[in-house]
Each structure stands twice: as C-alpha cells, then as structure tokens.
Amino acid sequence: MKYTLITGASSGIGKAFAEHYAQKQHNLVLVARSKNKLEQMKSALEQQYNVRVLTLINDLSVPNIANEIYNNLMAMNIEIDTLINSAGIATNGSVNDVSYYNQHNEIMLNVVSLFDLTKLFLKPMLKNNTGTIINVASTSAYHPIPTMAVYAATKSFVLSFSEALAAECQKTNVQIFAISPGATDTNFFSNGGVSYGNLRTPEHVVDVTMSALKKQKISKIDGFNNYFTSMILPRILTRSRMVKMVYNIMNKQD
Ligand SMILES: NC(=O)c1ccc[n+]([C@@H]2O[C@H](COP(=O)([O-])OP(=O)(O)OC[C@H]3O[C@@H](n4cnc5c(N)ncnc54)[C@H](OP(=O)(O)O)[C@@H]3O)[C@@H](O)[C@H]2O)c1
C-alpha cells in the first residue's frame, strides 16, 4: 500500500503538508517526537479524510534512525511514494557560544537524517520509476548567516543536494524538489529560529510547493520579498558585503 512519509509532521509546515496530502487521499506516515500531537492528528485526519495514518514517534537526530524507520516500513510492506523532509531546528548565537550538543543535533537532524531518508527511499522510487521527494530548505540556504551559521550551512546542504539530485533524476519519473520558506508562522521561532519581515503561513508554503512541482521546477523560494532578499541581493552585493549586512540585521534582532 502506498504512503506519503512526512517528517516534522507534528507542527508547522510538516503539519500543513500532512493536511494537504490527506485531503488528496494519500495514506500517511507521520514522524516526529511529540506522541500526543501525532495521535491527535491521526484520529482527526483518519476521520475527516478516510485515509490511513501511521505515526512514528522518533527523534531523527539519533544516528541510524532513518535505517530503522526504512526497515520497519519495508517489513510492513509500506511503499513510500512521496517523502517530505520537513523536520528541522535552528540554533541561535555565535558558533563559539552555542553548545556543541545543540549544534551537533541540528546537523544530525537537518542534514544527516534528511540525507539518509532521501538515500534510502530514492532507490525503490527509481526502481519503480515513480515518486516525489520534497525537501524543506530555507531562504537561509542562499547566503551565510552569522549567529545562525550552522543553521544556514545545513540549509545550503539541503538546497544544493536536492537540486543536484533533481538533475540526476531528470530523465526518470522521480521528482526531487526543494522549497525554501522565509519567515513562516510556526513554532520554529520558539525553537531557536529568528524572525524578520512579514510572516508567511505554512499553507502558503504548501501551495507554492504544489504549484512549482506541477511546473517541474527543482526548487522555489516562497514569496516575492523572500525571493528578492535571497536571490537578487546576493547577486548585487559581494559575499563579504552580504555577510556583514546580514550580521548587522541579526544583531538588531536582539
Ligand atoms: N518557520 C520558518 O520561518 C522557517 C523558515 C525557513 C525554513 N523553515 C524550515 O521548515 C521546516 C519545518 O519547520 P517549521 O517552521 O514547521 O517549525 P516547527 O513548527 O517548529 O516544526 C518543526 C518540526 O520538526 C520536528 N522535529 C524537531 N526536532 C525533531 C527531532 N529531533 N526529531 C524528529 N522531529 C523533530 C518537530 O516535531 P517534534 O517537536 O514533535 O519532534 C516539528 O514537527 C524546518 O526544516 C525549518 O528549518 C522554517
């Protein structure tokens, strides 16, 4: 039976993707650490949309957790035809000040678990010549961010890796796509993210993703203002000017 697997499904952008795919009659595998939130979503989505929802309560920053998830789903004969890697966290502060443990977990979650899940589920998708992988990057992927240095670097990985993989899969029916939200109204900011500008909604992010997928794009920035600051400004300014400007903006957030 075919399922859509969504990480970070318990809130924000991942939760909005879960709503969207349930409405489209996809069965879901929802992954996050918050058992209660996932259980509530399971009963609400199953009742409202008559789909099957499997919840996996996992900490994705744990080494080899992706292998465990993959093997368990294979043993249950669950085929993942859409994978959405939305789980992600940010740390905030200078590299020297933020704890090693928090930064390491950030890399494990934002980079390693996303890579592992993509690598594992890509193979059967290519074998069946069908599937979609949506990776949630960020406008932070487009330039360095002092005081969120690790976060921005993890998101650069997500964007670069996804776009390169999209090209490698171009001649197949497996579609790889990276969505880059800017500041979006979720729990992200109580978990280390820093807000600037007008917030978009998780539903905006999902709508923009769906429309870009239809157009066969490999990546997309959500919202015009975000497009300007992430795509246009770094092309006008030198890299050192850009990084200094972002540092000044970040210092004003305190
Ligand atoms: N909101 C923004 O402004 C913004 C902008 C650009 C990019 N993004 C990206 O969008 C993605 C989704 O974030 P969001 O804005 O929706 O924030 P959110 O509301 O805080 O959601 C984050 C999700 O990740 C899950 N998660 C966190 N740590 C986890 C772990 N160790 N293991 C498994 N799941 C974990 C959380 O669930 P549990 O706590 O239940 O585990 C939650 O479901 C992230 O990749 C973020 O970097 C967000």
Q: What is the identity of the amino acid at 106?
A: E
Q: Is the pLDDT of residue 50 over 80?
A: yes
How far is the centre of ligand 1, averaged over its atoms, from the C-alpha of 150 (Å)? Answer: 15
Q: What's the average model confidence in pLDDT over 222-235?
A: 95
What's the token pair of residue 97? 């000040």
Sign of CA dihedral 200, 137, 176, 121: negative
Q: What is the identity of the amino acid at 161?
A: F
C-alpha distances (whole Å) from 6 to each of 68, 149, 234 are 16, 26, 32
**Comparing 15-19, 116-120, 224-228, 249-253, which segment has the lowest mean pLDDT?**
249-253
Closest ligand 1 atom, CA of 181?
6
CATH (residue range 2-252): 3.40.50.720
Contact 161, 218 (CB under 8 A): no
Sign of CA dihedral 52, 3, 120, 83: negative
C-alpha distances (whole Å) from 204 to each of 83, 137, 173, 184, 207 are 19, 15, 26, 9, 5
Ligand 1 pocket, residue 219 CB under 6 Å: no
Q: What's the average model confidence in pLDDT over 149-163?
A: 98
How far is the centre of ligand 1, averaged over its atoms, from the C-alpha of 211 (Å)? Answer: 22
- CA geometry: angle at 149 spanning 203 and 102, to 5°? 85
Contact 140, 147 (CB under 8 A): no
Question: Tell me: the pLDDT tens digits for 78-136?
Answer: 999 999 999 999 999 999 999 999 999 999 999 999 999 999 999 999 999 999 999 99
**Comparing 34-43, 58-67, 184-193, 227-236, which segment has the lowest mean pLDDT?**
184-193
**What's residue 1's pLDDT?**
76
Ligand 1 pocket, residue 138 CB under 6 Å: yes
**What's residue 254's pLDDT?**
62
The model carries a pTM of 0.97
What's the token pair of residue 41? 């979503």
**What's residue 197's pLDDT?**
59
How far is the centre of ligand 1, averaged over its atoms, from the C-alpha of 197 (Å)? Answer: 19
Ligand 1 pocket, residue 145 CB under 6 Å: no
Question: Tell me: the pLDDT tens digits for 179-220?
Answer: 999 999 999 987 655 665 568 999 999 999 999 999 999 999
Mutation test of ligand 1: which of 39, 58, 59, 86 has the most ligand atoms closer than 8 Å to its C-beta?
86
Closest ligand 1 atom, CA of 137?
7
**What's residue 111's pLDDT?**
98
Kindly indicate the confidence band of residue 161, based on its pLDDT and cuts at 50, 70 and 90. Answer: very high
Ligand 1 pocket, residue 223 CB under 6 Å: no
Alpha carbons 139 and 182: distance in angstroms, whole number: 5
Nearest Cα to Cα of residue 2 among 66, 113, 76: 76
